[in-house]
Structure 1
Amino acid sequence: MAYWLLKSEPDAFSWDDLVARGEAGEPWTGVRNHTAKLNLMAMKVGDRAFYYHSQAGKEIVGVAEVISEHYPDPTDPKGVFVCVDVRALAPLPRPFTLAEAKADPALAAMSLVTSFRLSVQPVTEAEWRHICRQVGAKL
C-alpha cells in the first residue's frame, strides 16, 4: 500500500462532501499539474490518502481510500490529465495542521512542507505513521 495526500479547498469540495458521497466515492478531477498527474497515475486501489483542506483551515482532516486506478479526467477537454476515484474512510480524531507539520522535525522532508503547492502528493510510510500517532488515529 502507498500513501498520499490530496488537497482540496473546503469551499469547493470539503471532507464532508466526500463523506456524503458514501461508498460510491468521488472522481478526483480537475488536477492540472503534470507532477500531480504522475502521482495520480501511480495510485493503486486500496492506497490511502490524507484529505487536506487547503486555503481555509490548512489541515489534514481525514483519510480517504483510492477505489479506482487512473482513467481520463472527464473534465479535461484536451484529454491530457487523469483522475482516480476516492472514498472517505474516517475523519482524523483531530485535525493535523500545516503549522504542526512545519514545526515537526520528523516531517521536515515531507512534501506538504517542501512542495506545499502540489495538490496530489506522496506521503512516506514513516510520515503517515507519525501523523497518525500525533493525532491518535489507528489507521
Structure 2
Amino acid sequence: MSRPRKRLAGTSGSDKGLSGKRTKTENSGEALAEVEDSNPQKTSATKNCVKNLSSHWLMKSEPESRLEKGVDVKFSIEDLKAQPKQTTCWDGVRNYQARNFLRAMKLGEEAFFYHSNCKEPGIAGLMKIVKEAYPDHTQFEKNNPYYDPSSKEDNPKWSMVDVQFVRMMKRFIPLAELKSYHQAH
C-alpha cells in the first residue's frame, strides 16, 4: 500500500521562508561556545540556560488531497492520530537537504507537525521521533509514486524516521503569525 508523502521544511513547496533546521539552539558544546564567545562574563546561570534549551524539528505534510502519480498523498495530523499507536513512518521525502535532516534526528526529539500546501498552512501539533533514520522502503517499490530507480537496496539514497503523535497545539499557529514573529526580530 502506498504511503502519503511527508516533507521536511526546506523542501519544494509553497512554504518559502521556513527552515528545516531546529527551531532553537541545540544542547551542544558548540551552542555553549557561541554563548560564551558572545558574553565575556561567563556565569553558571548562562551555562544552565543553554543546557535547558530544547530543540524541535519542523516537519510538514499536506492535509488536503493531492494526487501524485495517481495516489492521494494527503496526510494530516488527524491521520497520524488515527494510526495504530498513533505512530507511522515519515516516508516519501525526496529532497537531499531534508533527507539529511531526517538522518540527524535522534530518538525522543520532538517535531512540530506543520500543515503545508493548504488553505491555511501552519503548525497543528507536536510529535516525537520514535525510531531514528533507516532506509525508506518506498524508494524500492515500483508502483509507489516515490519510487527511485537509481536507488539500490545495498546503497539506499533515501531515509525515513518513525514518528508518534504527542499532542495537538493549544491553538493552530498559522504561517502568517509565524512570519510576523520572524519579521519582528
What TM-score comes out, normalization by structure 2 length?
0.55
> Is the aligned partner of 1:53 residue 2:115?
yes
Q: Is the 8 A contact 2:80 2:86 kept in 1?
A: no
Provide structure 1 residue ranges, at least 5 long, that are not aligned to the other structure: 109-139
> Is the aligned partner of 1:36 residue 2:98?
yes
Q: 1:33-88: per-residue Cα shift (whole Å, max 9, x none)?
A: 01101100000110000000001121100000100000000011222100000010
Amino acid in structure 2 at the alignment position of 1:52: Y
Q: Is the 8 A contact 1:22 1:88 kept in 2?
A: no
Percent same amino acid among aligned pairs?
A: 39
Q: Distance in 2 between matches of 1:2 and 1:93?
A: 19
1:1-139 → structure 2 map (5 Å cutoff): 2-11=55-64, 12-23=74-85, 25-56=87-118, 57-77=120-140, 78=151, 79-105=156-182
Check 1:107–1:62 CA distance in 2 against 1; reply closer, same or farther (3 A cut). Answer: farther
Q: Which runs of 4+ in 1 moved over 3 A?
A: 105-108
Q: Distance in 2 between matches of 1:5 and 1:19?
A: 18
Query: Which secondary structure state, in structure 1, belongs to the residue aligned with residue 91 of structure 2?
Result: coil
Provide structure 2 residue ranges, at least 5 long, that are not aligned to the other structure: 1-53, 65-73, 141-150
Q: CA deviation at 1:22?
A: 4.3
Q: Distance in 1 between matches of 2:83 and 2:184?
A: 31
Query: Which protein is bigger by CA-based radius of gyration?
Result: 2
As a proportion of its length, which structure holds more strand?
1
